[in-house]
Structure 1
Amino acid sequence: MKQCENIQDQMADFLDEALNEQEMKQIQEHIDGCQDCNQEMEEMKALFFGLSEDELEQPSASLRMNFEQMLEEEKAKQETKVISLQERTSWKSYIRVAASILIVVSAFLIGKYSDGETKPSINPEVASILAKMEDDSASQRIAAMNRFEEINTTDSKIIQALIDRLLYDEKASVRLAAVEALAKFSSLEMVKQAMIKSLESDQDPAIQIELIQTLAKIQEKRALPPMKRLLENEDVPEYVKKEIQINMASVS
């Protein structure tokens, strides 16, 4: 672990090619053999080089004022946090703040000028949640869903993003969090259809139980066929089948 910390502390200098030949070789050999450090390096490259390559459309005077206001608010938030970092590792905070601001501004400009038409700007909070739901880290995707549950919004973009996580995310923990976040929108047809589709295909018992309970609560009759198929499936755990039997009466 100590070696990984030392390597990660030197990654910024490694990308800047500011180390001597022996140090560059040692870091490269470690990264090639360490999955965690390799992933850290890839994430750093995406931020380190991606920020310099992105080009944004020049905003009008009024949009520039809005951006400056958002920038001041973001700076104020950062100033409320006292973070003590060594000089060599301080670049991480700066890159993350810059990336956060870039996401908000990009979403704002794209929403304003997409297809040459004037459209309402995207709520910065919504833009941030959408960006985190695409994060490589499962914990960040779950954190985005938890944040969505805290704010009172029915933004269709976030609901669709939650459905995508439910149906296609590779992590069961993320899919389960998506079910829980979508539960309060179970009256929407698009959510009902997504939950039924997930019940037909997802093999994780915890997700199956959460879907069964949610669909039974809204008395969704279209959930009966997949529930019956689960009852007939020998691979389905008995406790899941018991949950189906308890809830089928509410659906039928």
Structure 2
Amino acid sequence: MNNSDNHITCQTTQHQLPDWLSGELPAPDRVAFDAHVAACPDCQQEVAALQQLWQRLGDRSANAVPEPGPQVRTQFYAMLDQFVAEQPTVPTGTWARLTNWLQHQTAAVWLPRLAYSLLLVSVGVLAGYWLQRQQSPDLAYRQQIDTLSTQVQAMRQMMMLSLLENPSATERLRAVSYTKDINEVDGHVIDALLMTLNNDPNVNVRLVTLEALADLARDPRVREGLVQSLSRQDSPLVQVALADVMVKLQEKRSLKPMRQLLQQPNTNDLVKSKLEQTIKELS
């Protein structure tokens, strides 16, 4: 672009964003850039969003599993007390008759030993029965919680996959955020996120998707997909963010696609500088 040209397009503004964010955009170009953004509401929104995302790229935190609320514990113990109260008590009449019979047989030498053995066996059986009864409500409660959790996870996954196909970028961003609430991410979710990273028309959505995938990089399919994505990106912001992720993961398989990207004539100068630095760190 001619530096003396005061009229630039939205596409030119998008390509100048990395230099503008890093403060390396020449003064004449910066004047034209600021003038265009001041007159273009779409570019104003894009610049504001990218400034926030640029600051958040290195700030990722592990998802904490939410603890059950205090009402869950209260309801559980109330259910447990009600269950125990409804159980029939062990009749004592039989034990009383057995004890009287044993007392009448104390003259015999072998009867005390037999009675003691029978008592031990009976106590063991009753203790096992009582423990099983005590544990049954807790086991049933845990099974109900596990089943409910599985259903919620499946619902979140289904909602996420559906929203990723929404034409609204805001809805697609919301879909990506659901990955933080999914404990077990399967192949369908990973494939959908990688497709979004490589093909979504909105740079913001791709950056947020990259952040979500970086948190799932313990999966070999995710790491492989991130490496392959380097050669499919045309946004300087996404290219720089991918380079940061490769350093964080210490993914040496990314060296080849980064060198190839470095040789392409249309690669942004800021991206080339970042790639050269990343290659040195991984080599």
**TM-score between the two structures when normalised by the length of structure 2:** 0.43
Structure showing greater Rg: 2
**TM-score between the two structures when normalised by the length of structure 1:** 0.48
Higher relative contact order (CA 8 A, sep 6+): 2
